Structure 1
Amino acid sequence: MSGTTTSGRPAVLMSAASALTTLGAIPPFLLGAQAVAIRDDLGLGLGIFGGAVSLFFGTAAVATMTLSSRFGALSRRVALCVAGVLVAAGGYALSGLVQGPVSLLVAMVVLGLGNAACQATSNLLMSRGLPPGRRGLGFGIKQSAVPLAIMLGGLAVPTVGQVGGWRSTFAVTASVGVAVAAFALLRGGRWQRLAREGAGGDLDTDSPPTLPLLMAGLAITFASAAANYLGAFVASWGFEVGLSPTRTGLLMAAGSAGSILVRVFSGWRADRRFGANMPVVAAQMLAGAVGCLGLMVAEAWAVVGFGLLALSIGWAWPGLLLYAVARLGRDRPARASGFVQAGAFTGGALGPLLLGALSGQVGFPATWAVCSGLFVLAAALVVVSRRMFTADLRRRPPRDPLRYGRRYRTDA
């Protein structure tokens, strides 16, 4: 892949991208963890509350699809500044201005834009700033930010939220957004400008193929819908089959920790393989399908065992899939990863909303079966996408060979 390479140590860059991703992703998990207090304070029903979370992800999906190429043309300084300002604006609105459903929805739109900006900026940092032999690990660490956000959202309730109320938790995230923007503006020296996507006629001839990107985007939409429903409702199902609130909380914490470990390990292994990452993604999605099938058993042991399988391995694919698609994005990683990121946001918006409504009508066991089917469909689409990618690479060899680890290989 051509383009400039940002300076700095890989470990620092990985940490910065992960922190930025966590900052953008945490608002809906803070909202969910403090749902009772927020709903009582603002007088919200379940419909409006669920709609606010879906609007967050929906806004992020639309923004990612429409603005990712523009972020590819921004300098690191400007991209970071935009992300920080949006996070700060939405967070401070929630901490002091939101008084009812309309203002809550507006604030979640702003935070959804902030999430899209954070994700796009961190994806560019990973794709353009890390040496090829570290990018798999980098994307694994970066995408561990989502289960980390779930854990932090839960920890905020007995800590910051207990002391200052639910609004104080959003004041903290907003203040971090201000710090990000200030860091971008005040950092001494000129920041290296990222290569502009679409600048020059030959980039269009070496752009990623659209149809495989669409297949990958659809795959992560279905898988993300099932995974986000899993994250939102497995604790409720555990309570129904006899687990105490403490045990369901431990299940979620253990599942999130397991997902972080598997995501990082998968990225580390990707840097030591030479291609063939998307089949691993498909296998992880199939593990999610098995976990969801096991959750149909209305027994505490099944919810714990299969819940851990689904959360830790079945939801470990986002970083590896982003890495594979960004590598195949040739000279336009923002456009390539934008399809996948938009699919993740779309699934995050639709999964808890539609599958949550379905579980209210037909019950949890039948809904787990639907989730299993979504994971299987997603795995099949990943396999189809890979075949399309590899066929395109053979038909249109990339201008610069794609490098995995220390070798060159044109494989997904």
Structure 2
Amino acid sequence: MPSDAPTALLRPSAGAVGVATFTVLPLFLVGALGIQLSADIGVPVSALGIASAAFFGSGALASYFAGRVATAYGVRTTMRASLVLVIMVLLFLAVGVHSLAGLVVILALGGMGNALAQPSVNLYLAERIDRHRQGTAYGIKQSAIPVAGMLAGLAVPIIGLTVGWRWAFALFALPAVLLAIYTPNARLAVRSTQAAAPALRLPRKALMVISTGSGLGMAAGSSLSIFLVPGAVVAGWSPGQAGVVFAGASIVGVSGRLLSGVLADRRDEKHLQAIALMLVAGAIGFLALALSHQWLYVVGASIAFGFGWGWTGLLIHAVVQLSPADPAASTGLVQVGTSSGAVIGPLIFGFIVEHFSYRVAWGAAGLELLLGSAILLVAAALTRSTLSPTLASTR
């Protein structure tokens, strides 16, 4: 490994985190500021599940094509386009949202920006990071999601409860503008260490099974991002304290994603099995949330973020490693499933909260993780049987 290896890893990874953070930030801000926002526009908090569904629904529709666009037009162009979309969304949320319908339309636009960013950033890292460091790189990149959660959680007591929730969206638009101007474009990685790897591409069937299992995991995770703060208020915390709980759990989520990426670089396989185990551990966190005890809620939120939603970077790494011949399109296809899960999950969660309780909703989300874990174990067996003949032929 060359002496500048840390710089070669951190510089492109930092740029990836920046782009990925801001393209998902509007959704997290809506979730964290949901109590103030819903009171202002006159809708129940449970209706925010519809807005989340719009974000991920438009993303699901755009994800597969976004991978093709990233490959065709280059990562820098598509990352910049995604940032322009998110800047528009943040500004519209700051000044133009006065109804649930308006919120849904604007977040749908934000979902398209996020869908464009994700395969672009995945391809960016695949091109610029040595394959033996990509687990760490994708772990750093996927830390953008809990980082966005941390920023959104801190925005509640610092901005939302002082000058107003609309100011949070306006203020976060400013660094997004700077990032769009200075979109990262690190040099391409030296490919000598990757040249010997066979040009594998997972078949569509295997990708769809992975997409289904990860989609169930994302159904629970996206519900966590939208309903953790109002759920904390129901458990006995004040709105400001609930925002801090969100921020603290997000920090644990960052640690989980980084650790899973670092550990992935120390092994060459069984990434899908590792994700399945993380989903089982995350289900324990959701069970703790379902008990609705104040301090146990904090513990459950940390476990749920760290394990139940700490696997997304490892998922991307697994797909890129299993399908290196076409990483953008393959991760884009898997993102169709994760985005679809993120649509359905909050809708189901909101429905259960409206008609039953948060306790029942958290329990149902935990069951989604367990089912997703089982399907990913099936996907691991399927990919092993699919790729074994190809790998054998290259030896």
Q: TM-score, normalised by structure 1?
A: 0.82
| Paired position in structure 2 for 1:149 | 148
Q: Which runs of 5+ in 1 are unaligned?
A: 1-7, 193-204, 402-412
Q: Aligned partners of 2:62 and 2:94: how far apart in 1?
A: 24
Structure 1 residue 226 displacement after superposition: 1.6
Matched, 1:382 2:376: yes
Q: Aligned partners of 1:42 and 1:231: how far apart in 2?
A: 20
| Paired position in structure 1 for 2:175 | 176
Are the structure 2 counterparts of residues 133 and 244 from structure 1 closer, same or farther at C-alpha, using a change threshold of 3 Å? same
- Secondary structure of the corresponding residue to residue 220 of structure 1: helix
| Paired position in structure 1 for 2:139 | 140
Q: Is 1:77–1:191's contact at 8 Å kept on the other side of the alignment? A: no
Are the structure 2 counterparts of residues 231 and 327 from structure 1 closer, same or farther at C-alpha, using a change threshold of 3 Å? same
| Paired position in structure 2 for 1:117 | 116
Q: Is 1:330–1:398's contact at 8 Å kept on the other side of the alignment? A: no
| Paired position in structure 1 for 2:34 | 35
Q: Aligned partners of 2:356 and 2:316: how far apart in 1?
A: 34
Are the structure 2 counterparts of residues 247 and 104 from structure 1 closer, same or farther at C-alpha, using a change threshold of 3 Å? closer
Q: Aligned partners of 2:243 and 2:97: how far apart in 1?
A: 29
Are the structure 2 counterparts of residues 68 and 36 from structure 1 closer, same or farther at C-alpha, using a change threshold of 3 Å? same
Q: Aligned partners of 2:51 and 2:235: how far apart in 1?
A: 29
Q: Aligned partners of 2:44 and 2:365: how far apart in 1?
A: 26
What is the total number of aligned residue pairs between the two structures? 381
| Paired position in structure 1 for 2:266 | 272
Q: Aligned partners of 1:374 and 1:135: how far apart in 2?
A: 28
| Paired position in structure 1 for 2:21 | 22
Structure 1 residue 381 displacement after superposition: 1.0
Report the residue type matching 1:345 in the other structure.
Answer: S
| Paired position in structure 1 for 2:191 | none
Q: Is 1:135–1:323's contact at 8 Å kept on the other side of the alignment? A: yes
Q: Aligned partners of 2:37 and 2:245: how far apart in 1?
A: 24
| Paired position in structure 2 for 1:106 | 105
Q: Aligned partners of 2:307 and 2:203: how far apart in 1?
A: 29
| Paired position in structure 1 for 2:340 | 346
Report the residue type matching 1:225 in the other structure.
Answer: A
| Paired position in structure 2 for 1:77 | 76
Structure 1 residue 278 displacement after superposition: 1.6
- Secondary structure of the corresponding residue to residue 73 of structure 1: helix
Write out per-residue CA displacement over residues 181-231 of structure 1, whole angstroms, 9 at most, x where no aligned residue. Answer: 33359x8xx987xxxxxxxxxxxx953211111111111111111222234
Write out per-residue CA displacement over residues 222-259 of structure 1, whole angstroms, 9 at most, x where no aligned residue. Answer: 11112222343344444444455565444333322111
Following superposition of structure 1 onto structure 2, how do residues 234-383 of structure 1 map, counting pairs within 5 Å? Answer: 234-243=228-237, 245=239, 248-383=242-377
| Paired position in structure 1 for 2:196 | none
Q: Aligned partners of 2:233 and 2:167: how far apart in 1?
A: 29
Structure 1 residue 41 displacement after superposition: 4.2
Report the residue type matching 2:220 in the other structure.
Answer: A
Q: Which runs of 5+ in 2 are unaligned?
A: 1-6, 189-198
Q: Aligned partners of 1:219 and 1:321: how far apart in 2?
A: 11
Q: Is 2:213–2:376's contact at 8 Å kept on the other side of the alignment? A: yes
Q: Is 1:359–1:366's contact at 8 Å kept on the other side of the alignment? A: yes
Report the residue type matching 2:17 in the other structure.
Answer: S
Q: Is 1:80–1:180's contact at 8 Å kept on the other side of the alignment? A: no
Q: Aligned partners of 2:244 and 2:155: how far apart in 1?
A: 15
Structure 1 residue 275 displacement after superposition: 1.5
Q: Aligned partners of 2:393 and 2:65: how far apart in 1?
A: 26
| Paired position in structure 2 for 1:224 | 218
| Paired position in structure 2 for 1:199 | none
Write out per-residue CA displacement over residues 335-364 of structure 1, whole angstroms, 9 at most, x where no aligned residue. Answer: 221133232222222212212211332323
Are the structure 2 counterparts of residues 304 and 156 from structure 1 closer, same or farther at C-alpha, using a change threshold of 3 Å? closer
Write out per-residue CA displacement over residues 26-56 of structure 1, whole angstroms, 9 at most, x where no aligned residue. Answer: 1011122223443344444546644222211
Q: TM-score, normalised by structure 2?
A: 0.86
Following superposition of structure 1 onto structure 2, how do residues 183-198 of structure 1 map, counting pairs within 5 Å? Answer: 183-184=182-183
Q: Aligned partners of 1:47 and 1:299: how far apart in 2?
A: 21
Q: Is 2:276–2:377's contact at 8 Å kept on the other side of the alignment? A: yes
Are the structure 2 counterparts of residues 299 and 167 from structure 1 closer, same or farther at C-alpha, using a change threshold of 3 Å? closer
Structure 1 residue 312 displacement after superposition: 1.9
Report the residue type matching 1:275 in the other structure.
Answer: E
Q: Is 1:229–1:351's contact at 8 Å kept on the other side of the alignment? A: yes
Structure 1 residue 367 displacement after superposition: 2.9
More displaced stretch, 101-110 vs 370-379: 101-110
Q: Aligned partners of 1:236 and 1:304: how far apart in 2?
A: 13
Q: Aligned partners of 2:297 and 2:235: how far apart in 1?
A: 8
More displaced stretch, 126-135 vs 366-375: 366-375
| Paired position in structure 2 for 1:207 | 201
Report the residue type matching 2:387 in the other structure.
Answer: L
Are the structure 2 counterparts of residues 359 and 294 from structure 1 closer, same or farther at C-alpha, using a change threshold of 3 Å? same
Q: Which has the higher helix share?
A: 2
Are the structure 2 counterparts of residues 360 and 41 from structure 1 closer, same or farther at C-alpha, using a change threshold of 3 Å? closer
Q: Is 2:136–2:265's contact at 8 Å kept on the other side of the alignment? A: yes
Q: Is 1:24–1:115's contact at 8 Å kept on the other side of the alignment? A: yes
Report the residue type matching 1:276 in the other structure.
Answer: K
Q: Is 1:83–1:177's contact at 8 Å kept on the other side of the alignment? A: no
